[in-house]
């Protein structure tokens, strides 16, 4: 579900990697030509070490975001109101696990095993989308997540699905298809509250107020402060800038919120008719970095729950392990 728009960058690692790109100039030129022609890169192809590293990081973070993303909404699985909402919510959370499965497989084709990725998630070495470190306090939160976070994820994923790495694009194709169901059911549940009783509207407005900041953070820091990503754009790993994606999201969804008579907690939010760009208050990027580094309201619980699941599922996995068998990575 959620390709967090922002790829977390470990500091101090960049300079060394940049040099490696120039290791094999002929192969690099052929590789870059292929991408420029719009062809996909497949698992067995030659690729620069940096391309491989960045892709693993991107896809892995995306996969983690899916399985961690299952938790905030999972909070309401046993409490979803009525059959239709209950079934839709379970199916949606299930899809997120399914997306995680597809994405881990795609990342594995690049050489990192699923186990290694899970370990990096559990140890905190590898990140996931920040937005899931916030709590889903009421049922209305589920509708805000289902509508707006999924919408934001779609903006990001549709862009990424046109990227250069074949297995990731194929996974995203299926994911985007399922996301359209998520968005629709989220929008439907959102509208139900928006057009419902005064108490329901109040509940929704409250959730919207609380989620607006994390939503503004979703696509990552502004381009002007973001690290240099030209190479990643050229290699079609990163397909659009943070600000462009954020602008596209605001363009598509702010009117859909306003048309329901709901408000957003930012007095400066407006579209500049001349530039065609949205203007907004600074959404507190310090908080964004604080939460990424473990200081969010739910960081600890999210990882604790994942650890519980891995620990309690271990006997099942170990019982059926076949240590003598040769292990391979996915073919495509």
Partner 1 sequence: MLNNAITDLMTKMADDELIQGHRNSEWTGLGPVMEEDIAFSSMAQDKIGHSWALYRIIEENLGGRQADLFAFCRPENEYKCCHLVEYPNSGYDFSLMRHFLFDQAEAVRYESMLESSFEPLQQLSRKVKGELKYHTLHANAWVMQLSKAGEESYDRMQTALNEIIALAAGIFEPGKAHEQVLIDAKVYPGEKELYNRWLDRIYPVLVKASLNLPALESITPAYGGRNGQHTPYLAPLLKEMGEVFNLDTAANW
Partner 2 sequence: MSLDPRVNRLKLGDPNAVIKVEEGENWNVYEVFHQEKRGAHHEHVGCVHAPDPQMALIFAKEQFARRKKCVNLWVVKSADILAFDVEDEDMFANNLEKTYRDASGFKVMEKINKFKQSSKGTTDVK
For partner 1, the closer CB: 195 or 227: 195
- Rounded to 10 deg, the angle between the 299-319 and 49-74 helix axes is 100
118 sits near partner 2 (criterion: CB under 8 A): yes
Torsion angle of C-alpha atoms 217, 218, 219, 221, degrees rounded to 10? 20
List the beta bridge partners of residue 271: 278
Give which of partner 1, partner 2, none residue 67 binds (C-beta under 5 to 8 Å, depending on kind). partner 1
For partner 2, the closer CB: 100 or 283: 100
How many residues sit close enough to partner 1 to count as binding (CB under 8 A)?
44
Query: Rounded to the nearest whole angstrom, what is the least distance from the CB of residue 68 to partner 1 in the complex?
Result: 9
Give which of partner 2, partner 1, none residue 36 binds (C-beta under 5 to 8 Å, depending on kind). none
Q: Which residue from 265, 297, 313, 330 is in contact with partner 1, where contact means CB under 8 A?
A: 313
Query: Rounded to the nearest whole angstrom, what is the least distance from the CB of residue 239 to partner 2 in the complex?
Result: 22
16 sits near partner 1 (criterion: CB under 8 A): no
Task: Write out the binding residues for partner 1, residues 49-68 only, by CB under 8 A.
Answer: 67
Give which of partner 1, partner 2, none residue 219 binds (C-beta under 5 to 8 Å, depending on kind). none
Write the secondary structure of the chain as one string of H (helix), E (strand) and C (coil): CCCCCCCCCCCCCHHHHHHHHHHCHHHHHHHHHHHHCCCCECCCCCCCHHHHHHHHHHHHHHHHHHHHHHHHHHCCCCCCCHHHHHHHHHHHHHHHHHHHHHHHHHHHCCCCCHHHHHHHHHHCCCCCCHHHHCCCCCHHHHHHHHHHHHHHHHHHHHHHCCCCEHHHHHHHHHHHHHHHHHHHHHHHHHHHHHCCCHHHHHHHHHHHHHHHHHHHHCCCCCCCCCCCCHHHHHCCCCCCCHHHHHHHHHHHHHHHHHCCCCCCCCCCCEECCCCCCEECCCCCHHHHHHHHHHHCCCHHHHHHHHHHHHHHHHHHHHHCCCCCCCCCCCCC
310 sits near partner 2 (criterion: CB under 8 A): yes
Give which of partner 2, partner 1, none residue 197 binds (C-beta under 5 to 8 Å, depending on kind). partner 1
Using the structure block, give the residue that is written with the tokens 């699905």: 161
What is the C-alpha separation between 285 and 242, in angstroms, rounded?
A: 13
327 sits near partner 1 (criterion: CB under 8 A): no
Q: Which residue from 111, 124, 196, 261 is in contact with partner 1, where contact means CB under 8 A?
A: 196
Give which of partner 2, partner 1, none residue 93 binds (C-beta under 5 to 8 Å, depending on kind). partner 1
Task: Write out the binding residues for partner 1, residues 93-152 only, by CB under 8 A.
Answer: 93-94, 96-98, 100-101, 104, 139
308 sits near partner 2 (criterion: CB under 8 A): yes
The residues of the shown chain that bind partner 1, judged by CB under 8 A, are 67, 70-71, 74, 76-83, 85-87, 90-91, 93-94, 96-98, 100-101, 104, 139, 189, 192-193, 196-197, 199-200, 305, 308-309, 312-317, 319-320
* Residues binding partner 2 (CB under 8 A): 42, 44-46, 71, 74-75, 77-79, 98, 101-102, 105, 108, 113-116, 118-119, 122-123, 135-137, 170-171, 174, 178, 300-301, 303-305, 307-308, 310-311, 314, 317-318, 320-323, 325-332
């Amino acid at each position: 579900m959620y390709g967090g728009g922002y790829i977390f960058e470990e500091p101090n690692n960049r300079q060394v990697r940049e040099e490696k790109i120039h290791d094999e100039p002929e192969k690099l030129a052929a590789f870059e030509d292929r991408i420029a022609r719009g062809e996909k890169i497949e698992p067995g192809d030659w690729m620069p070490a940096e391309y491989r590293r960045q892709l693993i990081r991107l896809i892995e973070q995306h996969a983690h975001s899916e399985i961690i993303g299952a938790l905030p909404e999972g909070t309401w699985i046993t409490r979803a109101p009525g059959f239709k909402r209950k079934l839709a919510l379970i199916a949606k959370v299930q899809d997120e696990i399914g997306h995680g499965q597809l994405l881990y497989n795609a990342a594995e084709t690049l050489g990192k095993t699923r186990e290694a990725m899970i370990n990096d998630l559990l140890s905190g070495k590898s990140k996931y989308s920040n937005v899931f470190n916030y709590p889903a306090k009421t049922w209305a939160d589920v509708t805000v997540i289902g509508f707006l976070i999924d919408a934001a994820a779609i903006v990001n994923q549709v862009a990424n699905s046109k990227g250069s790495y074949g297995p990731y694009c194929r996974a995203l194709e299926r994911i985007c298809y399922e996301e359209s169901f998520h968005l629709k059911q989220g929008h439907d549940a959102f509208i139900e509250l928006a057009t419902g009783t005064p108490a329901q509207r109040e509940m929704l407005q409250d959730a919207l107020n609380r989620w607006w900041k994390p939503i503004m953070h979703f696509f990552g820091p502004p381009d002007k402060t973001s690290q240099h990503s030209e190479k990643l754009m050229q290699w079609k790993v990163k397909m659009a800038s943070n600000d462009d994606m954020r602008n596209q999201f605001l363009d598509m969804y702010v009117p859909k919120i306003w048309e329901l008579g709901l408000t957003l907690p930012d007095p400066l939010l407006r579209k500049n008719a001349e530039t065609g760009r949205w203007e907004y208050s600074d959404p507190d990027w310090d908080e964004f970095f604080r939460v990424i580094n473990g200081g969010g309201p739910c960081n600890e619980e999210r990882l604790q729950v994942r650890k519980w699941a891995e620990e309690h599922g271990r006997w099942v996995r170990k019982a059926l392990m076949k240590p003598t068998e040769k292990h391979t990575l996915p073919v495509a």
